[in-house]
């Protein structure tokens, strides 16, 4: 063998960051508005203390250590510390329903639960139903009866812990999908998959991170590992800025104060931040690049950022893909393109970075051409794509390793992938498919529209016809006729919604996406005016 074969371990990420980028800061804004700073060096030392504390509490290699927490420095320490003692860090989404929380914590057989004081009511309510948990630990508050504290735990250790021996294929993280259909399923990340994903993410055509980057992941650490940002940032020593609350005002202030250059979040977060910026006159500070994903980024949002000179990385992925599946890169001839053409490109979900393979298939599983027209089920494979759900007894892929994403997409001749819908959200009208995503994104560009959702409602002749549910921007006017007129030249004629319904708000999932399943249920028996009038 001509080369050394060090395993690719999450511990090597923190060792590198602590050694090479020791002073680079990690900023945390806590739930009470206070702010603290540590550094990669301190996180490295505290991670060893955390690992020692877990061993002292009786944790063994492979044990699941759960967190119910927002983004902050202590949460980061627990990720790396757990990895170093061979633990599997299970990030639990606090916005799930009680039954889902109980289900996944019991399914994972978590032994420790670290949580933010803000979620104490959830823990108090559910702890009797969580028999596998031996230790409840408060991240950001002093110990109290029945609960120990992170600070006491860390302070009792000297930081000389030696990482346990690990294989790069050992599990290191666990995250459950939101369970849109059936029970949530656990995705088990490995050391190797996380490290390769991290190295990929820093690339210029992916997140474009470097030592001078200051990244504020708004996407929570419980949402697909905060899209891998806490791992990627360690490889180059970017400064990390965390906020434990996601109020637009606080995020905008933090962005300004800390000189944030990069940020990542779902579209709904940016909608709220734009509203705050418009009302307060706050600017973008040093923001250079935003990564938008989790659901399709609306055109109007992309245009707004681009007009401000900010690079928009439109990403597609899912919990099962660690999560980066594709990223909207600027092609080589970018500078020769006009603004509208550039925006057209960014509206699509982008290309797979090295490591991910993509294809679209028809109902008979036959691959479809990359012609920008054929639309089919999106499948992917690669070293950070799921093979098997946690505790499942069969693979989630076919024999060739293809994982079916549940999304419907086209692939353009230049390799750019475009999501047209989630398989279950497409509106089936007269045997043809209408993309709810395209309708929604066109609608958010109409004057006075803050948020839009397109759902199919029953129609005797066409099976389904689209209606648009619209939340108006505060203090503005929008009318059904105005919106339909705006859409006229933006979508095919037969895609035009049969009706526009104004609502006060739209329901969102635990990860901030529009909850289509609920809307479909709510509007299942909706009677179109054209039918009731007839
Ligand atoms: P969930 O939405 O169920 O909580 P995930 O966060 O794993 O779980 O969501 C993954 C799904 O989100 C993808 O399968 C896709 O439908 C949708 N998605 C993610 N990014 C995009 C994007 N840029 N455009 C359109 N849809 C997206």
Where residue 119 falls among pLDDT bands split at 50, 70, 90? Answer: very high
Is residue 461 annotated as part of the catalytic site, yes or no?
Answer: no
Residue 412 has pLDDT above 60, yes or no: yes
CA–centroid distance, 220 to ligand 1, in Å, is 15
pLDDT value of residue 533: 66
CA–centroid distance, 163 to ligand 1, in Å, is 35
Phi first, then psi: what are they for 102, rounded to 5°? -65, -45
The structural domains of the chain, with segments of one domain joined by +, span: 25-347, 427-532
Is residue 40 annotated as part of the catalytic site, yes or no?
Answer: no
List the catalytic residue out of 433, 480, 490, 499: 433
- CA gap 119, 102 in Å, rounded: 14
pTM, 2 dp:
0.91
Could you tell me where the beta strands, DSSP code E, fall in 402-519?
403-411, 417-422, 427-429, 432-434, 449-459, 463-472, 499-502
Question: Could you write out the DSSP letters of every residue in 151-179?
Answer: HHHHHT--S-PPPPP--TTSEEEEEE---
Residue 534 has pLDDT above 80, yes or no: no
- CA gap 154, 133 in Å, rounded: 20
Over residues 81-110, mean pLDDT: 96
Residue among 221, 317, 403, 408 whose CB has most ligand 1 atoms within 8 A, to mutate = 317
CB 157 within 8 A of CB 53: yes
- CA gap 478, 500 in Å, rounded: 10
According to CATH, what is the number of the domain 25-347?
3.40.50.12780
H or E element at residue 289 = strand 289-292
- CA gap 353, 416 in Å, rounded: 11
Whether residue 296 has its Cβ less than 6 Å from ligand 1: yes
Extract the tokens encoding 128.
Answer: 């009797």
Is residue 320 annotated as part of the catalytic site, yes or no?
Answer: yes
List the catalytic residue out of 157, 320, 440, 451: 320
Q: Which residues of 439-470 are buried (b: 16+ CB within 10 A; e: fewer)?
A: bbbbbbbbebbbbbbbbbbebeebebbbbbbb
pLDDT value of residue 181: 59
- CA gap 526, 47 in Å, rounded: 54
pLDDT tens-digit map of 438-474: 899 899 999 999 999 999 999 988 889 999 999 999 8
Whether residue 22 has its Cβ less than 6 Å from ligand 1: no
Whether residue 348 has its Cβ less than 6 Å from ligand 1: no
Give just the sign of the alpha carbon dihedral 80, 81, 87, 92. Answer: negative
pLDDT tens-digit map of 346-395: 999 999 999 999 999 998 999 999 999 999 999 999 999 999 999 999 99
Q: Which residue(s) pair with 65 in the sheet? A: 89, 112
Where residue 180 falls among pLDDT bands split at 50, 70, 90? Answer: low
- CA gap 479, 34 in Å, rounded: 43
List the catalytic residue out of 286, 391, 428, 524: 428
Q: 427-532, which class in CATH? A: alpha beta
Is residue 433 annotated as part of the catalytic site, yes or no?
Answer: yes
Whether residue 93 has its Cβ less than 6 Å from ligand 1: no
Q: Estimate the share of the chain in helix, then strand, then coil, as percent rounded to the nearest 5.
A: 35, 25, 45
pLDDT value of residue 426: 87
């Amino acid at each position: 063998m001509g080369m050394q074969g060090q395993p690719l371990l999450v511990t090597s990420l923190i060792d590198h960051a602590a050694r090479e980028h020791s002073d680079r800061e990690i900023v945390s804004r806590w739930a009470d508005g206070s702010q603290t700073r540590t550094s990669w060096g301190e996180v490295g030392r505290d991670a060893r203390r955390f690992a020692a504390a877990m061993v002292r509490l009786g944790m063994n290699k492979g044990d699941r250590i759960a967190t119910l927490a927002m983004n902050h420095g202590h949460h980061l320490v627990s990720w790396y510390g757990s990895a170093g003692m061979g633990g599997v860090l299970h990030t639990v989404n606090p916005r799930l329903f009680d039954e889902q929380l109980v289900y996944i914590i019991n399914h994972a057989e978590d032994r420790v639960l670290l949580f933010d004081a803000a979620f104490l009511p959830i823990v108090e309510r559910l702890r009797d139903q969580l028999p596998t948990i031996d230790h409840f630990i408060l991240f950001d508050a002093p110990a109290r009866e029945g609960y120990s504290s992170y600070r006491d735990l860390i302070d009792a250790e000297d930081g000389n812990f030696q990482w346990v021996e690990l294989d790069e294929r050992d599990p290191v993280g666990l995250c459950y999908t939101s369970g849109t259909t059936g029970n949530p399923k656990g995705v088990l990340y490995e050391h190797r998959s996380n490290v390769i994903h991290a190295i990929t993410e820093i690339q210029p055509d992916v997140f474009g991170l470097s030592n001078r980057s200051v990244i504020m992941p708004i996407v929570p650490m419980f949402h697909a590992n905060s899209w891998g940002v806490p791992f990627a940032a360690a490889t180059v020593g970017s400064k990390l800025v965390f906020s434990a609350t996601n109020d637009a005002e606080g995020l905008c202030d933090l962005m300004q104060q800390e000189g944030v250059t990069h940020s990542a979040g779902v579209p709904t977060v940016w909608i709220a931040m734009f509203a705050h910026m418009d009302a307060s006159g706050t600017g973008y500070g040093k923001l250079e690049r935003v990564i938008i994903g989790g659901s399709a980024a609306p055109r109007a949002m992309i245009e707004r950022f681009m007009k401000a000179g900010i690079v928009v990385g439109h990403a597609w992925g899912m919990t099962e893909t660690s999560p980066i599946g594709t990223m909207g890169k600027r092609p080589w001839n970018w500078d020769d393109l006009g603004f509208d053409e550039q925006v057209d490109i960014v509206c699509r979900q982008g290309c797979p970075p090295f490591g991910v393979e993509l294809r679209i298939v028809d109902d008979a599983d036959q691959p479809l051409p990359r012609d920008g027209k054929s639309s089919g089920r999106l499948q992917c494979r690669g070293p950070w794509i799921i093979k098997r759900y946690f505790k499942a007894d069969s693979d989630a892929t076919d024999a060739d390793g293809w994982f079916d994403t549940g999304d419907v997409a086209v692939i353009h001749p230049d390799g750019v992938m475009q999501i047209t819908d989630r398989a279950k959200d497409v509106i089936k009208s007269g045997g043809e498919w209408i993309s709810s995503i395209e309708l929604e994104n066109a609608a958010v560009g109409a004057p006075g529209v803050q948020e839009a959702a397109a759902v199919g409602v029953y129609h005797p002749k066409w099976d389904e016809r689209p209606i648009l549910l619209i939340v108006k921007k505060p203090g503005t006017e929008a009318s059904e006729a105005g919106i339909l007129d705006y859409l006229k030249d933006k979508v095919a004629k037969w895609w035009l919604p049969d009706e526009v319904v104004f609502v006060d708000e739209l329901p969102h999932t635990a990860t901030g996406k529009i909850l289509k399943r609920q809307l479909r249920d709510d509007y299942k028996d909706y009677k179109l005016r054209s039918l009731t009038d007839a």
